[in-house]
Structure 1
Amino acid sequence: MKYICLMKFRKKPTREMISQNLEWIEKDKKMGVKIDAIYWTLGRYDAVVIFDAPDEKTAMRMGLERAENLSAETMVAIPAEEARRLVE
């Protein structure tokens, strides 16, 4: 299942935070998560992560692990072609 996560830093990012995040990404891989892209952004959110996870609980666990450093809003992403079929 594909997800999009919009993130805001709770505090100024540090090298330690970035290093910790890289460790979490490796842990996520072991839980079956595949990160497609990570973007740091300007505007309302500081980062956007696009990823696949086996289920909603795994996606939620990712956000909870990072809650000290980030606030996150995670959405299920449905491919446009699948959504169009629902309308037909």
Structure 2
Amino acid sequence: MPTFVALLNWTDQGVRGYKDTPQRAEAFAAAAQKLGVKVLNEYWTVGPYDMVVVMEAPDDETATAALLQAGGLGNVRSTTLRAFGRDEMDRIIAKTIG
């Protein structure tokens, strides 16, 4: 299944409710699972992003739907990256060789 890395920033609303962030993360994982998304890891970070979420989804659309649901609650904004594992990168490189 494709892997995605979501870089999250709290909105003003999200930072006001920082005490609830562990419960919000659990709720996101549960809602995402209902869509077929598996949350592999959630990290709270310092620096330019407040959280990093690593997840697997069947496709881009499903990953986007899960993150839109989360963003729609008003606590976070996300930047999402498609991540490629070693096997996937080997296949990509093989395609360039022909």
Cross-structure match for 2:76: 70
Corresponding residue to 2:27 among 13, 19, 23: 23
Per the alignment, residue 79 of structure 1 pairs with: 85
TM-score (norm 1): 0.83
User: Alpha-carbon deviations, 1:31-54, whole Å to 9, x = none?
Assistant: 111111000001010100000011
Match of 2:47 in 1: 43
Unaligned runs of 5+ in 2: none
Partner of 2:10: 9
User: Radius of gyration: which is bigger?
Assistant: 2
Farther off after superposition, 75-84 or 48-57: 75-84
Query: Is contact 2:37–2:66 with CA below 8 Å preserved after alignment?
Result: no
The structural deviation recorded for 1:62 is: 1.6
Identity across the alignment (%): 27
Counterpart of 1:37 in 2: which secondary structure?
strand
- What TM-score comes out, normalization by structure 2 length? 0.76
- Number of residue pairs the alignment of both structures matches: 88
